[in-house]
Amino acid sequence: MAVKIRLTRFGRHKDPFFRVVAADVHFARDGRYIEQIGYYDPAKGIENAVIDEALALKWLEAGAVPSETVKAMFNRKGINAKYAAKKNAK
């Protein structure tokens, strides 16, 4: 099973709100997902995105691939650096 960490859209028309989720690549964008990792409100910016660091690292270690937007969020939050350090320590 190939897993991606990506955004699913919620919210009203012209007022989007996103959840950061781990989902199988075959699931629809706004359909099923395996686990919710956090959420993101574009009106507040990427800096204010809320991401559970432990869950994000768990999924990255399991081989999940983040989308481009989620990768940018992880870079801003320092999750990619922690993952790389953990990977190099092994």
Q: What is the set of domains in the chain, with CATH numbers? A: 3-89 (3.30.1320.10)
Helices (H), 6-78: 53-61, 68-77
Question: What letter does residue 47 receive in the DSSP assignment?
Answer: G
Asked if 42 and 16 count as a contact pair (C-beta separation under 8 A), the reply is yes
Query: CA dihedral defined by 35, 81, 10, 36, rounded to 10 degrees?
Result: 10
CB atoms within 10 A of CB 48: 10
Which residues pair with residue 42 across a beta bridge? none
* Interval 57-66 mean pLDDT: 95
**Helix intervals (H) in the chain:** 53-61, 68-77, 79-89
The whole-number pLDDT of residue 43 equals 93
pLDDT band for position 89 (cuts 50, 70, 90): confident
Q: What's the average model confidence in pLDDT over 70-87?
A: 93
